[in-house]
């Protein structure tokens, strides 16, 4: 099968059809209508077999992790998904793998209301590059650079579960299904983030590790942070698997695809109420401070946090 036959068989017409897409797949470019008083947000990520997902992963898992990694970037901006471009390199045509990959992409596109609008295919080592496109009201994007001194720092979800889940997968353990699910099929915080635009000053998605990504937000905002380790939620499954290392997984593990954001203290109660309405777990883990750097508070001891996480090189 050639490139166009593969596209026609597995990807043509799949998934959600977005009203803002004037021209989708099949032409040299997609054409999108950006609503008046909105701006376009775009992000791209490449995931490589054996690096960003285990070798011999099913098509469903590769599709899920690839699209969610990019959707999480839209969430960090408070954007509404519109469309995505897919560039797929595969070593050979395997019907069961491609069918699983395409079917999961289609399912996710309907869940998150994002349309496949174009892309490319090539023969080579397995890799997936996705570019996402979303809209946000003009001037309302959540940025890394807008945190102010004296704001509350929150995180969504259960940090460390995905990193532990990867270890469980690599070790071939049959237990800890919730940890494996956190790694293999994460969920981006799209709807919550859109509502968060009303309250948050700054936001970043947690993909390379909590402290590593928090440090980017602090650096871009010219602030520091103090984090209370006792306020970081450590779930039962994570504590059972990791024991005394559970906090390290939460602080330094990657692949969470959760959000870290700062909020003026006047909006803290509103954010807590929003989380209840949206049924999202959030934790108030610290605050921004004037002194640069990140301090970690354990009991009565305050130490300079070691900033480490996933390194792409």
H helix or E strand, kind and range, residue 5 = helix 3-6
Average pLDDT of the residues in 210-215? 96
Q: What is the pLDDT of residue 310?
A: 61
Average pLDDT of the residues in 161-181? 94
Residues spanned by CATH 3.90.650.10 within the chain? 151-304
- Are β-strands 38-48 and 127-137 bridged in parallel, bridged antiparallel, or unpaired? antiparallel
* CATH class of segment(s) 3-137: alpha beta
* Higher per-residue confidence, 10 vs 286: 286
pLDDT in tens, 78-129: 999 999 999 999 999 999 999 999 999 999 999 999 999 999 999 999 999 9
Report the C-alpha gap between 258 and 155 in whole angstroms.
7
* CATH class of segment(s) 151-304: alpha beta
The residue ranges of DSSP E strands in 126-281, in sequence order, are 127-137, 151-156, 202-206, 224-228, 258-264
Q: What is the pLDDT of residue 309?
A: 64
Dihedral in degrees, nearest 10, Cα atoms 135, 138, 142, 146: 160
- Are β-strands 115-123 and 80-90 bridged in parallel, bridged antiparallel, or unpaired? parallel
Average pLDDT of the residues in 131-140? 97
- Are β-strands 224-228 and 293-298 bridged in parallel, bridged antiparallel, or unpaired? parallel
Distance of CA 160 to the CA centre of its chain: 14
Stated pTM of the model: 0.94
Angle value at C-alpha 109, between 91 and 139, nearest 5 degrees: 115
pLDDT in tens, 231-280: 999 999 999 999 999 999 999 998 999 999 999 999 999 999 999 999 99
Average pLDDT of the residues in 56-63? 92
Alpha carbon distances (Å) from 76 to 67, 73, 172, 189, 310: 15, 5, 33, 8, 19
List 87's β-bridge partners, or say none: 120, 129
Residues spanned by CATH 3.30.1330.10 within the chain? 3-137
Q: What is the pLDDT of residue 6?
A: 87
Q: What is the pLDDT of residue 52?
A: 81
40 touches 135 (CB < 8 A): yes
Q: What is the pLDDT of residue 149?
A: 98
């Amino acid at each position: 099968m050639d490139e166009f036959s593969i596209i026609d068989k597995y990807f043509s017409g799949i998934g959600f059809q977005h009203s803002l897409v004037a021209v989708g797949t099949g032409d040299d470019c997609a054409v999108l209508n950006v609503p008046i008083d909105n701006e376009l947000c775009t992000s791209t990520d490449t995931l490589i077999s054996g690096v960003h997902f285990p070798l011999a992963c099913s098509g469903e898992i590769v599709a899920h992790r690839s699209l969610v990694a990019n959707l999480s970037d839209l969430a960090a901006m408070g954007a509404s998904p519109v469309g995505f471009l897919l560039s797929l390199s595969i070593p050979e045509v395997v019907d069961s793998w491609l069918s699983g990959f395409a079917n999961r992409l289609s399912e996710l596109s309907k869940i998150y209301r994002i349309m496949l609008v174009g892309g490319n295919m090539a023969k080579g080592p397995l890799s997936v590059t996705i570019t996402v496109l979303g809209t946000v009201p003009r001037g309302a994007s959540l940025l890394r650079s807008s945190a102010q001194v004296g704001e509350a720092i929150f995180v969504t979800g259960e940090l460390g579960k995905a990193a532990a889940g990867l270890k469980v997968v690599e070790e071939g353990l049959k237990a800890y299904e919730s940890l494996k699910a956190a790694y293999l099929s994460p969920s981006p915080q799209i709807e919550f983030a859109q509502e968060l635009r009303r309250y948050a000053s700054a936001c970043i998605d947690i993909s390379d590790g909590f402290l590593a990504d928090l440090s980017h937000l602090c650096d871009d905002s010219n602030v520091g942070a103090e984090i209370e380790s006792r306020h970081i939620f450590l779930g039962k499954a994570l504590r059972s698997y990791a024991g005394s290392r559970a906090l390290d997984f939460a602080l330094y593990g990657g692949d969470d695809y959760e959000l870290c954001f700062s909020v003026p203290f006047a909006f803290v109660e509103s954010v807590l109420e929003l989380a209840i309405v949206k049924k999202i777990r959030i934790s108030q883990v610290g605050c921004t401070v004037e002194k640069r750097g990140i301090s970690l508070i354990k009991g009565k001891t305050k130490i300079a946090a070691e900033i480490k996480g996933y390194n792409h090189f």
